[in-house]
Amino acid sequence: MIICDSHIHSEFSSDSSAPLDSIIQKAIQLGIPKICLTDHHDIDFPINPEDGFDFQLDFDSYFAAIDEIRHRYGDRIDVRSGVELGLMNTVAGKARDIADKYKNELDFIIGSSHLVRGLDPYYPAYYEGRTEIEGIRDYFESILENVTLIDDFDVYGHLDYVVRYCPSGEKIFRMADYNDVLEQIFKIIIPKGKGIEINTGSLYKNMSYAHPHMDILKLYKDMGGEIITVGSDAHKPEYLCYDFETYARDALTSLGYRYYCTFKNRKPEFNPL
């Protein structure tokens, strides 16, 4: 059984209104002994007037709330504190500052791409003036730049997130179109000891597979990668551990993975699948 959800959002994220308490109560009800909270902090995020979300985390209030939760529920669940750090090639210094400043508080950092050169693939303008394949390729190329410049993350989040918002949907994705750039990404992150995640968030949205595509998970493994975390990307308690046993475990074991990781003090722990 997968006993930890390592990608969760609460009301400390702009795009969630789930009280921390409701998430922890749900986790206890599901019977998982540990959980890692990963609220959003997107460095240099341009506020979108459509929703007003700024994706800035108030770290001090967040850590204080986690402390309080640990006092309340610490005898029933191990609550870890993480962050989903939105990365771009222009924010290397700021990412380093955050990881340094909170080195005693942060158990885990997911590095994610929510923006490519300031553009959010969530909005259709991302594809203006180019094909979908070019837009997807640009997403992976920007990840390659990020992982070349930035070390302040433990796993890279939802590697093919861009596919989720593609106008023609997941059927546009063909591994052969991006194999070279994905290989370059893994050539950089694997020797650095960095992982990737399997993110089941797409499964309760509009996709038939979790992030990233099985071919990408396979490539990471074939190239020697061993660090995989499992997260639901839930922004509401009801999605905690979504499809972990019915999808994620089988997907990983079918590729030959025998362990998944959880993180404490920025160090991986290997748990049998």
Site residues (CB under 6 A) for ligand HSO? Answer: 15, 51, 53, 114, 120, 122
- Which pair of structure tokens corresponds to residue 137? 């390729």
d(CA 177, CA 133): 8
Structure tokens at 21: 């308490």
Closest to ligand HSO by CB, 42 vs 154, is 42
Considering the rule CB under 5 A, would residue 233 count as an interface residue with Zn ion? yes
Which residue is closest to ligand HSO by CB?
122
How many residues sit close enough to Zn ion to count as binding (CB under 5 A)? 4
At 201, which amino acid appears?
G
What are residue 267's phi and psi, to 5 degrees? -120, 140
Cβ proximity to Zn ion: between 15 and 44 the closer is: 15
Q: Report, in Å, the least distance between residue 117 CB and ligand HSO.
A: 15
Q: Which of Zn ion, ligand HSO, none does 112 bind, CB closer than 5 to 8 A by kind?
A: Zn ion
Q: Specify the DSSP class assigned to residue 248.
A: I
**Whole-Å CA distances, 211 to 37, 154, 204, 216, 262:** 19, 17, 12, 9, 18
Nearer to ligand HSO, 182 or 234 (CB): 234
* Token code pair at residue 136: 């997807």
Task: Give the x-and-dash track for 1-20 against Zn ion (CB under 5 A).
Answer: --------------x-----
**CA gap 163, 166 in Å, rounded:** 5
Smaller CB separation from ligand HSO, 199 or 262: 199
Query: Minimum distance from CB of 52 to ligand HSO (Å)?
Result: 10
Hey, how many other C-beta atoms are within 10 angstroms of the C-beta on 23? 25
Instruction: Compute the distance between CA of residue 254 and CA of residue 205 in angstroms, rounded to an integer.
Output: 24
Token code pair at residue 143: 């990840």
The answer to whether 112 contacts Zn ion (rule: CB under 5 A) is yes
d(CA 244, CA 241): 5
CB 239 to ligand HSO: min, Å: 12
Q: Which residue stretch of 18-26, 94-102, 110-118, 206-214 sits at the interface with Zn ion (rule: CB under 5 A)?
A: 110-118
Looking at beta carbons only, is 53 or 73 nearer to ligand HSO?
53
Q: CB of residue 71 vs Zn ion: minimum separation in angstroms?
A: 26
Site residues, Zn ion (CB under 5 A): 15, 84, 112, 233
